A and B are shown apart, each in its own frame.
Chain A
Amino acid sequence: MKESNMDGLQTTATETEQQLEDMAKEMRLANDGLLEQDKGYFCDVRPHRVEPYKGIMESFANWARSQSLWILGFGTGCGAIELRPLMTSRFDMYRYGIQARPTPRQSCVFIIGGYASVKTLKRIVRSYEQMQGPKFVLGLGSCTVNGGMYWDSYNTINRIDQYIPVDVYIAGCMPRPEALLGGFIKLKQMIREGKCEGMNKYIDDFDWYKANQKQIIHDWNMPDYNW
């Protein structure tokens, strides 16, 4: 009697362990694109959704976020040339709490500066994933919307929102700095309203985004999520 009881307990224990292991496995990413010997270099934890705070706390946080927009200084396309004037005394983006940061780790706004080739997209995905949430994406120029004048190129992607979530598009080829500022103000407004949950969207639809990315990035030599 006693023994069987013990056995039962043990079975339960192993089963639980098994389950836990399975769960842990689900939380891991396959990282199939990496060479076997390279897998150890990268973190393979699956990103998970982070819920916003509740109520006024989140509003306050969102206000702070909207007042302190740090741009990732990565000129992904020719539109990046229109970012420079923002720093000048004529446009003075600092007034709005906007600053450029040289590293994705510290930035919260990623500006896709125009057309993105496949090669660039790989870097865009990598940098986007390296940013810490909440993070926002500004699509700058027509190319990010529908490919713009390069829409039929063998190498230019047409819709950036198929690969990473975009919060605000600024149309034009090229949009002027004023339009960019307009986009920023729109973004701020949206952040304050709590509408910019792009990061959680990316995680919710993670597999879809990944499938899209992998469809065109053939030599996927990075982990599935670049922590």
Chain B
Amino acid sequence: MNEIMTKAWYTLISLFVITNYGLLLGGTMARVRAKVQGRIGQPVWQPYIDILKNNFKRTGIYHGVMFYLGPVFRLAGGLGTYLFIPAVYGSLVFSNFSFSGDLLLVMYFIFFGQLGMALGAGQSGHPYSPLGVSRGLAQMTAFEVPFALSVIAIAAQYQTLSITEIVAAQQGGILNWVAFTNPLAMVAGMISFLGMSMGNPFSVVIAPQEIPIGPPTEMQSSFLGMLQTNRAIFNGAKLVLFMNLYFGGATNIWIMVIKTFLIYLYTVIVDASFPRFRTDQSIRFFLGTPALIGIAAVVLQML
């Protein structure tokens, strides 16, 4: 019983940290983006206010049960993804529920939230919602290819699928990182990360000029607030995952903050500097060079 209580506390702490970190990271990155554009930009805490405001909305509408549950699925997906990743190597508090499964679990649990959200968006009856979902899913299958290849290359390299062990194998100096021991896998993975974070040039889902905002077109009030919360957590989870996979993980929370910040910075810079692909261009892009790099990484492991 005591153990369960301790685990519950640890979980709460871990979630609290990642939520706040994710929100602040989002705010900071908005500032960074503003700087790129020569603006001052919004306050760092703007994400908090937006979420507060959305939850303070007096009215709301919903289109049906799945619409209602869509954001719940999405947030559950975000929380779950984070909870299945050991965030800080060797830390009891931040090991989360990583004993439930390995890398494959995390890779597939990412779909959980997306599926739920897609269903919620679908029930809104708005044609843009499924259009956005269709684009997003189509692109997702494409960027999963280099990512899958990259993960397979890493699994082959270390003969393990456990994230903890992958991190453990990278300890002991910067040159032990996958980024240096298996650079091709890192390159493929980091390109697919661009797709995963849905920024330009891969922002086909939201695509403000074409299908204004896509899936969450009908989402409002606390539904939207929930989606925003998830955005912070899910972002954090993805960053932690990529940090663990390619950049040696983190032995304490500060290293995690620095590393994930830099990874995120990379996507933001790309985002701020490119126009958008069309969906089919994006698919072809991911199945082109990044996939070839991934295959090269895998083939190197086979030789």
Give the residues from 1 to 46 in chain B that come closer than 8 angstroms, CB to CB, to chain A: 30, 34, 37-43, 46
In this complex, how many residues of chain A approach chain B with their Cβ under 8 Å: the count is 25
Give the residues from 214 to 255 in chain B that come closer than 8 angstroms, CB to CB, to chain A: 216-221, 224
**Chain A at the B interface: SS class:** loop
A16 at the interface (CB under 8 A from B): no
Give the residues from 55 to 94 in chain A that come closer than 8 angstroms, CB to CB, to chain B: 61, 64-65, 67-68, 73, 89, 92, 94
Which residue in chain A gives the minimum CB-CB distance to B128?
A103
Q: B230 → chain A, closest Cβ, in Å?
A: 15
A163-203 to B contact mask, C-beta < 8 Å, 1/0: 00000000000000000000000000000000000010000
Q: A57 → chain B, closest Cβ, in Å?
A: 9
Task: With A97-B43, A102-B208, A132-B61 as known contacts, state yes or no: A68 contacts B53, CB within 8 Å.
Answer: yes
Of the listed residues A89, A105, A133, the one surrounded by the most CB atoms of chain B closer than 10 A to its CB is A105
Taking a contact as CB atoms under 8 Å apart, the answer to whether B57 and A94 are in contact is no
Which residue in chain A gives the minimum CB-CB distance to B38?
A89
B212 at the interface (CB under 8 A from A): yes
B197-222 to A contact mask, C-beta < 8 Å, 1/0: 00000000000100011001111110
Taking a contact as CB atoms under 8 Å apart, the answer to whether A133 and B39 are in contact is no
- The listed residue (A64, A65, A92, A132) touching B220 by CB distance below 8 A is A132
| Bound-complex Cα distance A68 to B55 (A) | 12
| Bound-complex Cα distance A134 to B50 (A) | 14
Which residue in chain B gives the minimum CB-CB distance to A49?
B58
Q: A29 → chain B, closest Cβ, in Å?
A: 15
Taking a contact as CB atoms under 8 Å apart, the answer to whether B39 and A103 are in contact is no
Q: B61 → chain A, closest Cβ, in Å?
A: 6
Taking a contact as CB atoms under 8 Å apart, the answer to whether A132 and B39 are in contact is no
Taking a contact as CB atoms under 8 Å apart, the answer to whether B34 and A61 are in contact is no
B303 at the interface (CB under 8 A from A): no
Give the residues from 107 to 127 in chain A that come closer than 8 angstroms, CB to CB, to chain B: 108
Interfacial chain A residues near B57, Cβ < 8 Å: 132-134
| Bound-complex Cα distance A99 to B43 (A) | 12
Taking a contact as CB atoms under 8 Å apart, the answer to whether A97 and B59 are in contact is no
Q: B49 → chain A, closest Cβ, in Å?
A: 5
Interfacial chain A residues near B49, Cβ < 8 Å: 64, 67-68, 97
Task: With A92-B41, A106-B224 as known contacts, state yes or no: A50 contacts B58, CB within 8 Å.
Answer: yes
B60 at the interface (CB under 8 A from A): yes
Interfacial chain A residues near B52, Cβ < 8 Å: 61, 64, 68
| Bound-complex Cα distance A52 to B57 (A) | 10
Taking a contact as CB atoms under 8 Å apart, the answer to whether B40 and A92 are in contact is yes
| Bound-complex Cα distance A16 to B158 (A) | 74
Taking a contact as CB atoms under 8 Å apart, the answer to whether A105 and B38 are in contact is no
Interfacial chain A residues near B99, Cβ < 8 Å: none
| Bound-complex Cα distance A108 to B34 (A) | 23
Interfacial chain A residues near B180, Cβ < 8 Å: none
B56 at the interface (CB under 8 A from A): yes
Interfacial chain A residues near B50, Cβ < 8 Å: 68, 97
Taking a contact as CB atoms under 8 Å apart, the answer to whether A103 and B213 are in contact is yes
Interfacial chain A residues near B40, Cβ < 8 Å: 92, 94-95
What 7 pairs across the A-B complex have the smallest Cβ distances? A102-B212, A105-B220, A89-B38, A61-B56, A64-B52, A68-B53, A50-B58
Could you tell me which B residues sit within 8 Å of A by CB distance?
A: 30, 34, 37-43, 46, 49-50, 52-53, 56-61, 208, 212-213, 216-221, 224
Extra contacts, 18 of them, besides A68-B50, A134-B58 (Cβ < 8 A), are: A61-B52, A64-B52, A64-B56, A65-B56, A67-B49, A92-B34, A94-B40, A95-B40, A95-B41, A105-B220, A106-B220, A132-B58, A132-B59, A132-B60, A133-B58, A133-B59, A134-B57, A227-B61
